[in-house]
Amino acid sequence: MSTPATDTALDDVLWVIVPAYQEEARIGDTLTALARQHDRDFTLLVVDNGSTDRTGELARAFAAGAPFPVRVLTEPEKGVGCAVDTGFRYAVAHGATLLARTDADCIPQPTWTAAARIALHRAPGLVCGRILARRDEQGPLGRAAFRVLVATAAGFGRIRPAHHRRHGYLAPYRMHAGNNMAITAGLYLAVGGMPRRPSPTDRAFLNRVRRHTTAISHCRAMTVHNSTRRLKAYGVLTTARWYLDRGSGRHTTDPR
C-alpha cells in the first residue's frame, strides 16, 4: 500500500534555499537569475557553508536591493548536506510550507520558481526538475557530454538492483538533482531531511522519500543550468563514479 505525501492542503509560503561554499566567482550569476524570476513571491535563504572567500559578503550585499526578502545563514559544519538540512529546517521553522533548492553555481530559468510552485500544488510531494549544462562553461561538445552523462545516470538508476522496489521502495527510481528540486515542508520533515554529509547526497535523499511515499514527480518546466566544472575537472568516467558514490579517485571531492 502506498503512503501519501504528508501535506494535504498547502499554504502558499515558498522559500528558496541556496547552499554555498567558496562561490564568490559564481554566486552573483545565481542571485541575478533569482532576481529575474517571474514569480518573486518567495524568501531567499543563502546558507554559507563556512566559506573563507566573499560568498557571504556578496549574498548580504545582494540582500540590500533584492526584490524579495533575503536571509543569510552560516553553517560551519562542512558538507552540502549539512548546509541544505540547516537551511530547510530554518525555513520551515520560520513558516515555509514549500521549499525549493538550487545551488550557488547554477542558473535557474526565469520561470523556475513559478514552475516549482505550480508543480507542488498539482502534486504535493517531491518534484524533480530538469538540468542542463551552463553555456558559459563548456562548448557544444562539453554540453553534449553532460547530456549523455545525465541520461546515462538516469537510465542506470532505473535498472540498478539496489533501487528495485523489493528493497522497500514505494515509488520507482527517477533522476533527482539536488540543485533543482522542490518539496513540501511536511514531507521534508517526515523523511528525516537531507543526509548531513558531504556530496553526493541526492540519491540518498531521493531514496528516503521513495521509502515514504509515491508522491514524486518530474517537472520539465523547472529548469536549471548546472555547472559542469566537475565534469571538466574529473572527466566523464570519474564523474560517473563520483555520482554513483564510488569516490573521486585521485581527485579532491571539491573541484573548485
Q: Is residue 256 part of a domain?
A: no
Q: Which residue has the higher pLDDT, 152 or 140?
A: 140
pLDDT tens track for 49-60: 999 999 999 999
List b or e across 89-124, with b for residues whose CB sees 16 or more CB atoms inside 10 angstroms.
bbbbeeebbbbbbbbbbbbbbeebbbbbbbbbeebb
Task: Provide the pLDDT confidence category of residue 161 given band limits of 50, 70 and 90.
Answer: low
Taking the model in full, what pTM does it have?
0.85
For the chain, helix, strand, coil in percent to 5 are 40, 20, 40
Q: Which pLDDT score is estimated for 243?
A: 55
Question: Hey, what's the cell of 130?
Answer: 530538469
Question: Hey, what's the cell of 202?
Answer: 541526492
Count other Cβ atoms within 10 Å, centred on residue 51.
19
Q: Is residue 248 part of a domain?
A: no
Q: Which range of residues forms the domain containing residue 186?
A: 14-243
Q: Is residue 251 part of a domain?
A: no
**Does the pLDDT at position 149 exceed 80?**
no
**Does the pLDDT at position 122 exceed 70?**
yes
Question: Hey, what's the cell of 84?
Answer: 541544505
Q: Which residue has the higher pLDDT, 3 or 193?
A: 193
- The percent of residues in the chain predicted with pLDDT above 90, rounded, is 64
Question: Which is it for the CA torsion 47, 50, 51, 57, positive or negative?
Answer: positive
Q: Which residue has the higher pLDDT, 21 or 234?
A: 21
Distance CA 14, CA 40 (A): 10
Count: domains in the chain: 1
Strands ordered across the beta sheet of 98-101: 70-74, 42-48, 14-20, 98-101, 181-184, 126-133, 216-226, 107-108
Decide the pairing of beta strands 126-133 and 107-108. unpaired
CATH number, position 83 = 3.90.550.10
Q: Is residue 227 part of a domain?
A: yes
